[in-house]
Amino acid sequence: MQNRTLETGVGLFLLAGILALLLLALRVSGLTASATNDSYKLYAYFDNSAGLTVRAKVTMAGVTIGKVTAIDLDRDTFTGRVTMEVQKGVNNLPIDSTASILTAGLLGEKYIGISVGGDDKLLKDGSTIHDTQSALVLEDLIGKFLMNTVSKDAK
Amino acid sequence: MRRKSLMDRVRLMGRAAIDIVAVLGRSGIFLVHALLGRGGIGGGFQLLVRQLYSVGVMSLAIIVVSGVFIGMVLSLQGFSILAKYGSEQAVGQMVALTLLRELGPVVTALLFAGRAGSALTAEIGNMKSTEQLSSLEMIGVDPLKYIVAPRLWAGFISLPLLAMIFSVVGIWGGSWVAVDWLGVYEGSFWANMQNSVSFSDDVLNGVIKSVVFAFVVTWIAVFQGYDCEPTSEGISRATTKTVVYASLAVLGLDFILTALMFGDF
């Protein structure tokens, strides 16, 4: 009898440990088992992709439809090439859609917003979004603002 | 007090160094014998279950309670600092990353050294001083196999599980303070966390850390008990040594592991 409660206690303990690992995997790190297969790749070239990170979300109309999987420099054009994986369910994006790097809140994380175009042709696996809008860099804005005030003073 | 000549001092230093090396060697041989010697755990599953109960299940209460409070404090502190920069929704990712990478494995190992490690040392030390270990050997039972091996394995298994439970409970405590009390929006709390925590980099590295700590803490605890002077004073000294050495080893190893895992070099 004593042994029985002991074994049940240890069994519950082991179960709690495994449950904890599952919770950490699914709830905390957002690991999903079937995330790799049902998506297709899109590329976009940005003049400036500052602040964008791998695993940033790709949204359309505020709905997350994919994520960024790689960011690297294109050696020929000196632009940042962003690789995105978009859910297979969203396979009707027109070829002239626009990708822009947006910021969540004033200081929040960067993400990619896709606004839909009007062309009949659709983006396929591996195709490139040509119409892009770069990240907003705060220093550039401040620089422009300062230049403006200086040139006004000079007049 | 007798004055020592220079030569005497040098000789004493040398003897101390040799003693340290000898203890290291003895503990290494002890570990190899206990883990690999003559067919694993003696008495099979029953002894292991009993030890898992006293080492793992009995430590659950302190782990869960401290986990909740550490998560709540992290959340509270993080909120008050992050609110200055208007990004209090990042409190979820801060709490989760801190717990998974550092506090989960480290605090669990420290608590485990105090709660279970000292008990292991005292128990085995007491068995030694009352000559239970030598009587086991007299009747042809290997104490390494029946006393030491089940305790070692119980420690190796329970500490990683306890560390994961600690992290989960801490994140729950953090979300309770941040979401239900301080009014961070629940959706962004969890979404920020899921965006920034990666399973292979953060969760698995934390588990690897706690496995290493489990190995070191249990090894130190069991060896100190087995190697202690068989007097009541010796047992008390061995118990103190267990807690001190295990804590120092955990903190030192944590720095090295962090540098290797997250240091980017």
Task: Read off the pTM.
Answer: 0.74
Contact B82, B223 (CB under 8 A): no
Q: Do A16 and B161 touch (CB under 8 A)?
A: yes
Dist CA A147 CA A143 (whole Å): 6
Inter-chain CB pairs, A–B, below 8 Å: 84
Q: Do A30 and B46 touch (CB under 8 A)?
A: no
Contact B113, B221 (CB under 8 A): yes
Please tell me whether residue B142 adopts helix, strand or coil conformation. Answer: coil
Sheet of A63-74: strands edge to edge? A127-129, A39-46, A79-87, A63-74, A57-60, A110-115, A98-103, A131-133
Dist CA A105 CA B185 (whole Å): 14
Contact A38, A123 (CB under 8 A): no
State residue B150's pLDDT score: 87
State residue A57's pLDDT score: 81
Nearest to A20 among B86, B165, B198 (CB): B165
Contacts of B86 in chain A (CB under 8 A): 105-107
- pLDDT-derived band at B38, boundaries 50, 70, 90: low
State residue A137's pLDDT score: 77
Q: Do A20 and B202 touch (CB under 8 A)?
A: no
- Closest among B63, B27, B258 to B168, alpha carbons compared: B63
Q: Do B86 and A105 touch (CB under 8 A)?
A: yes
Higher pLDDT, B141 or B115: B115
State residue A55's pLDDT score: 75
Nearest to A106 among B86, B168, B198 (CB): B86
Q: What DSSP assignment string belongs to chain A? A: -HHHHHHHHHHHHHHHHHHHHHHIIIIIS---TTTTTSEEEEEEEES--TT--TT-EEEETTEEEEEEEEEEEETTTTEEEEEEEEETT----BTT-EEEEEESTTTS-EEEEEE----SSB--TTEEE-EEE----HHHHHHHHHHHHHHHHH-
Chain B nearest CA to A32, separation (Å): 10
Q: What angle do CA B122, B128, B129 make, to 5 degrees?
A: 85
- Side-chain-side CA neighbours of A113 within 13 Å: the count stands at 13
Stated length of chain B? 265
Q: Is the ipTM of this complex over 0.85?
A: no
Dist CA B81 CA B77 (whole Å): 6
Q: Do A10 and B53 touch (CB under 8 A)?
A: yes
Q: Do B161 and A10 touch (CB under 8 A)?
A: no
Contacts of B158 in chain A (CB under 8 A): 13
Chain A nearest CA to B57, separation (Å): 6
Dist CA B124 CA A84 (whole Å): 58
Q: Do B195 and A7 touch (CB under 8 A)?
A: no
Q: Do A107 and B194 touch (CB under 8 A)?
A: no
Higher pLDDT, A52 or B172: B172
Buried b (16+ CB within 10 A) or exposed e, B30-62: bbeebbeeeeebbeeeebbbbbbbbbbbbbbeb
Chain B nearest CA to A99, separation (Å): 20
Contacts of A22 in chain B (CB under 8 A): none
Average pLDDT (B131-136) is 87
Contacts of B87 in chain A (CB under 8 A): 105, 107-108
State residue A31's pLDDT score: 66
Chain B nearest CA to A12, separation (Å): 9
Nearest to B194 among A13, A30, A108 (CB): A30
Contact A44, A99 (CB under 8 A): yes
The string of pLDDT tens digits covering residues B53-103 is 888 888 999 999 999 999 999 999 999 998 888 777 788 888 999 999 899
Task: Name A80's bridge partners.
Answer: A46, A73
Question: Which of B47, B49, B62, B95 would you mutate first to test chain A, the one with the most A CBs within 10 A?
Answer: B49
State residue B194's pLDDT score: 81
Rounded to whole angstroms, what are the CA distances from A13 to B103, B158, B161?
A: 21, 9, 8
Contacts of B49 in chain A (CB under 8 A): 6-7, 10
Q: Do A28 and B85 touch (CB under 8 A)?
A: no
Stated length of chain A? 155
Nearest to B164 among A17, A27, A55 (CB): A17
Q: Which residues of chain A have pLDDT under 50?
A: 34
One-letter identity of residue B239: T
State residue B213's pLDDT score: 95
Helices (H) and strands (E) in chain B, counts: 12, 0
Nearest to A28 among B85, B96, B165 (CB): B96
Structural tokens at position B141: 């039972």
Rg (CA), chain B: 22
State residue A37's pLDDT score: 63
Task: Say if A20 is an interface residue toward chain B (CB within 8 Å).
Answer: yes
Nearest residue in A to B198, CA atom = A29
Contact B32, B139 (CB under 8 A): no
The string of pLDDT tens digits covering residues B208-261 is 999 999 999 999 999 999 888 888 899 999 999 999 999 999 999 999 999 888
Q: Do B50 and A107 touch (CB under 8 A)?
A: no
Structural tokens at position B258: 């962090």
Taken in order A126, A132, A135, A139, the sign of the CA dihedral is: positive
